[in-house]
Amino acid sequence: PGDFAVEGDASSASYFLALGALGQGPVTVKGAGRDSIQGDVAFAHALATMGANVMQGADWIEVRGIDTDDGYLRGIELDCTAIPDAAMTLAVLGLFATGTTKLTGIASWRVKETDRIAAMVCELSKFGAEVSFGDDFIAVKAPKHWQVPSGGVDTYDDHRMAMCFSLAAFGPNSFHINDPDCVSKTFPNYFAVWQSIVSQKDQQV
């Protein structure tokens, strides 16, 4: 018998760290940090590169808004081979960034719960984003004119599609996420936790 520290899921942490960058901060995630053995903890570095104010300790990460001069996230180009799940969060953040957010090394998206490259292209386009893609990359430019997704955002029975598109609620329009219960695969109470963080805000999803 003994005591063991089990890290939190860095992939799922990405959505809450992103909330911190989208004005809901400070948001602190405990249980995964600078000393984590999980590849997806590198999402914090990517978020900082986009201009977020990110701090880390051995087992925690905190995000306090955006540090750029104009107050907007910056588009980045990043090899996401080591962070394929958290890369989906970066793709949705591309809706809020200046310039282009290009994510490479994501060929594995094709063989996840759904073809995530095709799914992300379709759903991001519903918001008016300019999206290009290939076998192992996706590039996102923020909408010039935000659109309301006709028929809502489809999730393809893919928990990560539902969770990452919750961030799009910080655009100018309300919309529906279809089949939000698909998050039960890994995070059944995701939307309750999400709502607890943004409950004082006027966002709806």
φ, ψ for residue 99, nearest 5 deg = 75, -160
The residue type of 174 is S
Q: How far are the Cα atoms of 86, 118, 125, 149 from residue 132, in angstroms, in the given order?
A: 19, 10, 10, 18
**Set 9, 35, 67, 85: catalytic member:** 85
Kindly state the tokens that stand for 113.
């719960």
Length of the chain in terms of residues written: 205
| E strand map for the chain | 27-30, 52-56, 60-66, 73-74, 77-79, 97-98, 100-104, 130-134, 137-141
Beta bridge partners of 85: none
Residue that has been written with the tokens 């961030």 in this structure: 167
Run of H or E residues at 192 = helix 190-198
85 in active site: yes
Q: Which residues are catalytically annotated? A: 85
